[in-house]
Structure 1
């Protein structure tokens, strides 16, 4: 009966919209009845004899699968294994994640971007690497999927992973020591609007020593890439007198920009089995990158004419982790991890244009130089005990200290702006964090699993005195109780229900706390507009606090498919929101519009997330043999929120969209002695309108992206070359970001309506990748 219902509802599900959830691999089916056409056999069965009487290699894996990790976790979790990471041949980590329910990206389609769960970025989404927050200056979205073993996504926080996760947590597990092959080599060539892209990676798996040959086990991975990009520039602003309707000022900038990015990074995971009870682990990593670019635009209007800019950047990030695991008895373990890292980022830019001030045209040159150096050290200790009463106790503590020195120099026509001199050019900060937690996961019966945790976290940020600014100190302390419940009804063995009651938070980031202003380049002096405001920090920010409820219902299909739905609520207090206000500033004689982060009352965020994943033979018992292994995927998310103190229905939290939709199909087949795989993914994020303030509104157009891939290989999985042709953003569409604001009447300016816009072209991205394992 359940199969009949699924077969009837599948067309309705697939028609809702478009996007693809490429995170969990298709589960291998049990052997089909003899009357049916042969399907793929499970790994544990003997290899079938092919038509040419050759036996195929079969590999037996005893480790947990993505489905078992997800199904047995008390907290709501999604797991993406290596097969799904490789499926579309993505170069950017964000492109893998955006196919998941509720995950969206910033940036242009096809280019990756910052990662947001439930549409929330800016620190609301916690991103970890091996259960640790990445070091300062490390761009997680630039981490290549080739170096990742799996990705774990928690919709609600846990004590061990941390409570700085209002939207959720993404834990990235780097490549683990494997012995399936000694070497893995991958190479790729691509084109982004006819601009070349190239990347290559190599992984070396190691194993030697001891009576069993496993005293030392490790994996070393490196990746390098060169990418060139072309972007259009199409921006403008218009100011209109509200009383007369006369256009007071209008400026446009149209042109293009080009850039080249080069990076080299690597990591290693080395394990020394000192004894049956004690292991030591060494994990070094590095990330090196450099970029350079230029842009040329033609301006029309009343402020700018021609503009030419050049920029370059250098970044290096080094990290070393050392850990030890001691297991004195079965079910008990102690672990200690210490780490240290350093990073340095330097940026230089030069902008030359013709500026019109009070009807006089002058040549203007602005040079910006910045250098940011971070040094960080951390220590983590954890004790775990599993008892005979099905309790899993975990208790731990974490400590971290980081120091940052930032040097910024701005010159206009060779002279430092007098308004910024009083702030000095050096900003030194120190951040200290301490956390302690305990949690217990208890399974009193086969039907019930309970999780209770408590986490305390203290973060202190100190900004040293600079220029005329005094030393500032920001201290935040949060205690987070956490509860997760998993129920597996005895009458419905394929169903389970999850409930989470949590308290999470978002701490202010350093850029929000630092008070040194950044002046908008479109209006570098004199009066500016709401839509082109300066930026400044707020050292008095408090952390956002969120009380959350998550309720999930899951139905598992016979061979690993899933139908699930999740509803969530987040009540947020001390909400941090960037507010635009007209201020009397020290860096200009005229009043300026300034964006500062502020704690602005409370907000409520609600949402629904739906996920469907099934093979055709789970829905259609008599499906033709060629369709049985076809995997159907669909997910959708809808978000709604209300911010206190703002009118209308568009007062959203940050850049959060109204939802996201994914639909996709993956299929495998054999022909001409080759193994083929193909699939497509459609992604849609609706247009968003955000009421930034009572007088300023922002609109972002809808995002549509279609991807497809074709893979083929010859021979056994470990002996041949595997090829993958990927086409991302098949139907490029322009993306537009616009804003409309009302500026009040001043002594020199009438009440006016200011409109600004930015139109960004997107491009088709094609790549061909090959990987070999030997």
Structure 2
């Protein structure tokens, strides 16, 4: 029964030990026969990095006496472990480095967000407060370096991975290096989230959960149904999830300004709270049919709808323009998309695939801000800000796959086109008059992007010990933005050669070495290209300060380019699991970074401090990623059959033109570590587990003037699962069991002043109970 549980981690120092032990482990330790070797090359109908065939099952044990009833159930549970082994089998067979996370691992802790699931994976870090998910980053690199896909498609502006509940996800694919088919906008890597799929296996599952944090309840309900459409191979899946979030956070900010000429200091404190309520409905479905000519057709609708409202209250001492402020806000986001995919066999070794989709997103927000001075009951300044943004998107992809026999070359070529158009209307009034910035640029804004791409790739096996992949991708992006007084066009194109190889010391070996030489890039986000400013509400008129800078885009931004090298050693264990070491390096040119400078601007009659993105030069980053997941008795024969999973990643980077020692890539910590263990009780259908995620404190010199700091993050999670019977399970989980205060700050040196700002807040434990029913 223990075999059904996924492998967890060992503490960071144990990773290196486990690797050493694995290298020295004699074959006699294996208690089951090793699975046959999975082919490293992919057939013509599989995308780059996909396995040629599903991994084969391990050899069966010799026949034994007929087991008792409880032992029969134990054997049935072992069927599920082969599904997990299949994930590792796909990883092993892929020529391009890939990690695959299936349903069992996604749902183990009962996480409410994908960010909480992803934080436990090698090299992945998340922003935001502990236990709340947040933006997802690979190898510690900030926004835009990690390519985020849903079913292989980029999502429109306003969408975040945390808007997807884990119940909707079939698997998560982590690709450490880019491939021609999935795109090269992935300097750090790619995360592809695959939504629930239509399977031949029938499933009717209901999940009811309630979470609690600081006395606030968060109910969650989901329903998943898999079934056949007909007897000719047609199938469907539908998953619906509804959840509500309710939280309150306290805020404490301390800003110290020191005059570098006189040494005089002034301190300003801001205290308050932020309350937020959010309700969301998510739905995705997949309908697929097998066609008479051997092809297939699938349709995949996808809907995300959320509504939230918040209230902020803060007080300043001493006050600048005001002593206290109240802000009420409302936000509604709706996104609907339909994708379709048609495949047809043109011959025994040739397949044509067409994929297309259309979507629309609508984001409406409204904030009402009132500022007060001490002793006055009526607001001295009122800002009413409404915005409505519509996004229309479409995509069309065609792919031709051809298997060349007997040479075992798998050729794939494709053409892609993708367009987005965003129309925004903003109505902003300050004490009954139009807000500054809106006067200059108007209240109507339009932007569009058109991306086209062409690629070709070849995957083949030069010998039984080698697998190789070579690809070439061209991608062009054109963006346009228009407002009242300006119209800006931006064009860029990138050619990216890609090469991957896998070498096995012996054709039947469980060890293999990976190598990748790639070129990737990071394109500017649309909002980074738009020159339209956002005026800081602390200083809406006159001169502002560097720590309360306005924000604006830069139409002249160029994409970053990166040349990359990846080397990895992997050992796949006989009882399932893996030991691996991965080393990576990236050399980046035209690095983009937000820079704060004093500018003469059109929206003010005095110079203002403005933060806008700029290309500032070159950077380098490298790192080591260690991973070990295994059963403890794989290495210690008499040990308890604990499932262990550990990973440790260490990062280093430097940016030219910025003084050290902390001149690193934005938001990149020194490393991240995970350790976890779970165990199924003997004689009881109960599984217990726990994991800890740790990210050290960090300081980054962002520019000559500014530096940013964050405190350490330590998130301890635990769960208990009771399988009442084969149809009913009860899962209890806790997130952030050892809460730490979370803080971030900044240091700005203007030459005349040194401004140090620190923002801190408490975090809390989140408890959850979930009932899982299979009907």
Q: CA deviation at 1:329?
A: 3.4
Tell whether 2:705 aligns with 1:689.
no
Contact 2:464 2:507 in 1 (8 A): no
Contact 1:43 1:58 in 2 (8 A): no
Q: CA deviation at 1:738?
A: 1.1
Deviates more, 1:362-371 or 1:434-443: 362-371
Contact 1:529 1:743 in 2 (8 A): no
Of 458, 465, 468, 1:440 maps to 458
Deviates more, 1:320-329 or 1:603-612: 320-329
Tell whether 2:658 aligns with 1:640.
no
User: Deviations for 1:183-224, whole angstroms, at most 9, x for unmatched residues?
Assistant: 111111110112101111111112032xxx244211011111
Contact 1:137 1:374 in 2 (8 A): no
Q: CA deviation at 1:92?
A: 0.2
Alignment of 1:293-442 (within 5 A): 293-303=310-320, 304-354=322-372, 363-388=380-405, 389-442=407-460
Query: May I ask how many residue pairs the two structures share in their alignment?
Result: 723
Of 160, 166, 188, 2:209 maps to 188
Query: Could you say what secondary structure the match of 2:167 adopts?
Result: helix
Partner of 1:727: 734
Distance 2:423 2:69 in 1: 67
Q: CA deviation at 1:712?
A: 1.0
Cα gap change, 1:418 to 1:497, in 2 (>3 Å): closer
Of 255, 259, 282, 1:241 maps to 259
Contact 1:604 1:642 in 2 (8 A): yes
Which structure 2 segments of 5+ residues have no match? 1-8, 18-29, 34-56
Cα gap change, 1:700 to 1:371, in 2 (>3 Å): same
Of 107, 126, 144, 1:123 maps to 144
User: Deviations for 1:402-438, whole angstroms, at most 9, x for unmatched residues?
Assistant: 1100112222112113454011111101111100101
Q: CA deviation at 1:599?
A: 0.6
Distance 2:179 2:32 in 1: 39
Distance 1:150 1:591 in 2: 51
Cα gap change, 1:407 to 1:53, in 2 (>3 Å): closer
Distance 2:114 2:557 in 1: 31
Contact 2:31 2:574 in 1 (8 A): no
Distance 2:758 2:427 in 1: 29
Cα gap change, 1:448 to 1:31, in 2 (>3 Å): closer
Contact 2:12 2:646 in 1 (8 A): no
Partner of 1:199: 220
Tell whether 2:715 aligns with 1:705.
yes
Partner of 1:264: 281
Q: CA deviation at 1:178?
A: 2.2
Tell whether 2:512 aligns with 1:512.
no
Contact 2:312 2:326 in 1 (8 A): yes
Query: Could you say what secondary structure the match of 1:693 adopts?
Result: coil
Q: CA deviation at 1:743?
A: 2.5
Q: TM-score with structure 2 length normalisation?
A: 0.89
Partner of 2:21: none
Distance 2:107 2:348 in 1: 36
Partner of 2:235: 217
Partner of 2:40: none
Tell whether 2:719 aligns with 1:742.
no
Cα gap change, 1:585 to 1:771, in 2 (>3 Å): same
User: Deviations for 1:283-335, whole angstroms, at most 9, x for unmatched residues?
Assistant: 01111100001122222113131211110001110101111011233442111
Contact 1:505 1:544 in 2 (8 A): yes
Partner of 1:529: 545
Query: Could you say what secondary structure the match of 1:378 adopts?
Result: strand
Alignment of 1:160-175 (within 5 A): 160-175=181-196
Query: Could you say what secondary structure the match of 2:433 adopts?
Result: coil
Distance 1:164 1:103 in 2: 17
Tell whether 2:686 aligns with 1:680.
no
Partner of 1:665: 677
Cα gap change, 1:670 to 1:553, in 2 (>3 Å): same
Distance 2:697 2:73 in 1: 53
User: Deviations for 1:234-273, whole angstroms, at most 9, x for unmatched residues?
Assistant: 123232222222235x332212121111000101110011
Cα gap change, 1:612 to 1:52, in 2 (>3 Å): closer
Q: CA deviation at 1:103?
A: 0.4
Distance 1:54 1:644 in 2: 63
Q: CA deviation at 1:354?
A: 2.1
Partner of 2:663: 651
Which structure 1 segments of 5+ residues have no match? 1-8, 18-28, 33-40, 745-750
Contact 1:14 1:663 in 2 (8 A): no
Q: CA deviation at 1:593?
A: 1.0
Cα gap change, 1:621 to 1:330, in 2 (>3 Å): farther
Contact 1:342 1:375 in 2 (8 A): yes
Cα gap change, 1:677 to 1:404, in 2 (>3 Å): same
Cα gap change, 1:428 to 1:10, in 2 (>3 Å): closer
Q: CA deviation at 1:16?
A: 8.3
Contact 2:236 2:285 in 1 (8 A): yes
Alignment of 1:33-72 (within 5 A): 49-50=67-68, 58=76, 65-72=86-93
Contact 1:269 1:283 in 2 (8 A): yes
Tell whether 2:125 aligns with 1:104.
yes
Query: Could you say what secondary structure the match of 2:155 adopts?
Result: coil
Q: TM-score with structure 1 length normalisation?
A: 0.90
Contact 1:181 1:773 in 2 (8 A): no
Query: Could you say what secondary structure the match of 2:338 adopts?
Result: strand
Cα gap change, 1:15 to 1:552, in 2 (>3 Å): closer
Cα gap change, 1:320 to 1:226, in 2 (>3 Å): same
Q: CA deviation at 1:753?
A: 1.7
Alignment of 1:572-611 (within 5 A): 572-611=588-627
Distance 1:432 1:351 in 2: 37
Question: What is the root-mean-square deviation in Å for CA atoms of aligned residues?
Answer: 2.4
Q: CA deviation at 1:42?
A: 8.4
Q: CA deviation at 1:72?
A: 0.6
Contact 2:465 2:507 in 1 (8 A): no
Alignment of 1:448-527 (within 5 A): 448-464=466-482, 466-469=483-486, 471-490=487-506, 493-527=509-543
Distance 1:123 1:193 in 2: 33
Distance 2:219 2:424 in 1: 33
